[in-house]
C-alpha cells in the first residue's frame, strides 16, 4: 500500500509543479509580448523611457499615448476571445468551437455595423452603445445557432453545430455586405473596422471594453468546476449537483458578452478562440480551473504579438490584424479537424 501512497503524492506534486510552470511560462510570455509591443515599431523606444519619461519626452508620448493603449487593447481582445473559446469548447465538448466558427463574431459584427450604419446612440449608454449592441447581436446569434442545431440533430454532433455556425455566419456576412453596399460616407469607417485592427483606438476604447471583459471572465471563472463536470455529459453533471440549464445559460451569456466586447472595439478577428485553448489543453491538460486563466493570459500575449507583426512586417504599411491571426489559425483549424476525423482526439 505504501507505494500507492507515494505514487499519489508524486502525481499530486508533479501536477502542482506542472501548473505552476504553466503560469510562469505564460506570464513571462505575456510580459515579453507587452515589452516588445510598446518598444518595437517604426520608432524604436529605449526601455528607460518606461520608468523615466523625462529622458525622452517625445518617445514617452508615443509610448504612453499611442502604443500602450494599443497593446492593452490588443491584450484585452485576445484574452476575451481566447477565454470565450475555451468556455464554448468545454461546454459543447467540441475543440472546433470558438466565437468565429460558431458565427458569434459575425452576430456581434452585425450589431456593431448596424450601430455605425444607423448612427445609433442610446442616451443612457453613451460610449457603451456600440459594445452593448454588439453583445446583443452575439448572444442572439449564439442562441439561434444552438436552437437550429438542436432542431436538426438532437444529439448536437460536432459537424452539425459547426455547419450551423457557418450557415449563420454566411447569412450574417451577406447582411453586412448589404449594409456596406447601401452605405455612403460611413463606408470607409465600416470597412476599416471590419478588417480587424486595434490601431488608433486610444484609452477610451480600453475603458469601453474593460468592464465587460472583467464581468464576462469572472462569470466563466465562477463556472470553471461546472465546466469540468459537464465534460462527462449533462446527465452525470446533474447527478453531481450541477444546475445544468442555469449554468449553460450563464456560460453562453458570458461568452457572448466577451465576444461582443472584443468585436466592438477591434472588428472581426478570427481563430484566436480556437488556437489558444487548443494549445493550452495540448500542453497543460484539460482542467478548466487552469484552461480558462491560461487561455486568458496566452490569448492576450498572442494578439499583442500578432498586432506587432501586423504593423512591422511591411512597415510603414500596416496589415489588418485579422490577416495575421487567419494565417496562424487556418492551419491549426485544419489540423484539429484532421485529428477529429481520424479519431485522434
- Classify 52 as helix, strand or coil: coil
Instruction: State the average pLDDT over residues 226-245.
Output: 83
Note the pLDDT tens digit of each residue in 241-278.
888 878 888 888 888 889 888 888 888 787 888 889 98
User: Does 139 score more than 50 pLDDT?
Assistant: yes
Residue 79 has a pLDDT of 95
Biggest alpha carbon–alpha carbon distance for the chain: 77
Instruction: State the average pLDDT over residues 106-114.
Output: 85
Tell me the average pLDDT of the chain: 83
Name the DSSP letter for residue 42: S
Residue 290 has a pLDDT of 92
Q: Which residues contact 129 (CB under 8 A, 6 or more apart)?
A: 115, 120, 121, 122
Instruction: State the average pLDDT over residues 208-214.
Output: 90
User: Does 168 score more than 50 pLDDT?
Assistant: yes
User: How far apart (Å, rounded) are the C-alpha atoms in residues 330 and 212?
Assistant: 28
Residue 327 has a pLDDT of 85
Residue 343 has a pLDDT of 58
Higher pLDDT, 129 or 303: 303
Residue 116 has a pLDDT of 78
Lowest mean pLDDT among 127-131, 198-202, 269-273: 198-202
Instruction: State the average pLDDT over residues 322-345.
Output: 74
User: How far apart (Å, rounded) are the C-alpha atoms in residues 141 and 80?
Assistant: 18
Instruction: State the average pLDDT over residues 124-149.
Output: 83
Cα 250 from chain centre: 17
- Classify 47 as helix, strand or coil: coil
Torsion of CA 286, 290, 293, 295, to 10 degrees: -30
- Classify 114 as helix, strand or coil: helix
Note the pLDDT tens digit of each residue in 292-314.
999 999 999 999 999 999 888 88
Note the pLDDT tens digit of each residue in 4-62.
565 565 555 555 577 889 999 999 999 999 999 999 888 888 888 888 888 888 888 88
Residue 188 has a pLDDT of 66
- Establish whether the linkage from the previous residue to 292 is cis, with ω within 30° of 0: no
Q: Which residues contact 140 (CB under 8 A, 6 or more apart)?
A: 107
User: How far apart (Å, rounded) are the C-alpha atoms in residues 268 and 266?
Assistant: 7
Note the pLDDT tens digit of each residue in 71-108.
999 999 999 999 999 998 888 777 777 777 778 888 88
User: How far apart (Å, rounded) are the C-alpha atoms in residues 242 and 181?
Assistant: 48
Residue 345 has a pLDDT of 45
Q: Cell numbers for 12, please give them.
A: 499530486
Instruction: State the average pLDDT over residues 164-173.
Output: 87
Handedness of CA 47, 51, 52, 53 (dihedral sign): positive
Lowest mean pLDDT among 10-24, 29-43, 207-221, 319-333: 10-24
Question: In degrees, to the nearest 5, what angle opens at C-alpha 136 toward C-alphas 130 and 139?
Answer: 135
Nearest alpha carbon to residue 37 among 60, 63, 65? 63
Amino acid at each position: 500500500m505504501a507505494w500507492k501512497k507515494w505514487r499519489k503524492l508524486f502525481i499530486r506534486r508533479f501536477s502542482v509543479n506542472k501548473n505552476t510552470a504553466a503560469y510562469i511560462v505564460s506570464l513571462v510570455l505575456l510580459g515579453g509580448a507587452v515589452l516588445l509591443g510598446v518598444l518595437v515599431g517604426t520608432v524604436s523606444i529605449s526601455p528607460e523611457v518606461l520608468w523615466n519619461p523625462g529622458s525622452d519626452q517625445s518617445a514617452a508620448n508615443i509610448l504612453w499615448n499611442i502604443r500602450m493603449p494599443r497593446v492593452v487593447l490588443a491584450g484585452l481582445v485576445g484574452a476575451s476571445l481566447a477565454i470565450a473559446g475555451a468556455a464554448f469548447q468545454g461546454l459543447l465538448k467540441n475543440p472546433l468551437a470558438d466565437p468565429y466558427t460558431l458565427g458569434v463574431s459575425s452576430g456581434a459584427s452585425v450589431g456593431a455595423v448596424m450601430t455605425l450604419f444607423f448612427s445609433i446612440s442610446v442616451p443612457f449608454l453613451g460610449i457603451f452603445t456600440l459594445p452593448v449592441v454588439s453583445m446583443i447581436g452575439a448572444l442572439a446569434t449564439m442562441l439561434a445557432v444552438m436552437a437550429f442545431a438542436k432542431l436538426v440533430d438532437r444529439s448536437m454532433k460536432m459537424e452539425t453545430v459547426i455547419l450551423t455556425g457557418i450557415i449563420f455566419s454566411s447569412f450574417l456576412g451577406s447582411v453586412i455586405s448589404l449594409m456596406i453596399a447601401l452605405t455612403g460616407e460611413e463606408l470607409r469607417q465600416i470597412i476599416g473596422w471590419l478588417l480587424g485592427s486595434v490601431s488608433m483606438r486610444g484609452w477610451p476604447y480600453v475603458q469601453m471594453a474593460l468592464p465587460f471583459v472583467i464581468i464576462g471572465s469572472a462569470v466563466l471563472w465562477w463556472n470553471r468546476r461546472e465546466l469540468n463536470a459537464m465534460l462527462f455529459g449533462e446527465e452525470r453533471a446533474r447527478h453531481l449537483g450541477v444546475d445544468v440549464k442555469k449554468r449553460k445559460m450563464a456560460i453562453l451569456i458570458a461568452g457572448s458578452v466577451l465576444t461582443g466586447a472584443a468585436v466592438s472595439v477591434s472588428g472581426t478577428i478570427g481563430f484566436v478562440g480556437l488556437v489558444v485553448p487548443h494549445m493550452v489543453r495540448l500542453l497543460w491538460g484539460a482542467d478548466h480551473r487552469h484552461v480558462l486563466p491560461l487561455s486568458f493570459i496566452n490569448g492576450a500575449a498572442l494578439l499583442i504579438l500578432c498586432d506587432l507583426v501586423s504593423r512591422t512586417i511591411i512597415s510603414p504599411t500596416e496589415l489588418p490584424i485579422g490577416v495575421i491571426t487567419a494565417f496562424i489559425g487556418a492551419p491549426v483549424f485544419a489540423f484539429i479537424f484532421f485529428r477529429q476525423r481520424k479519431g485522434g482526439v
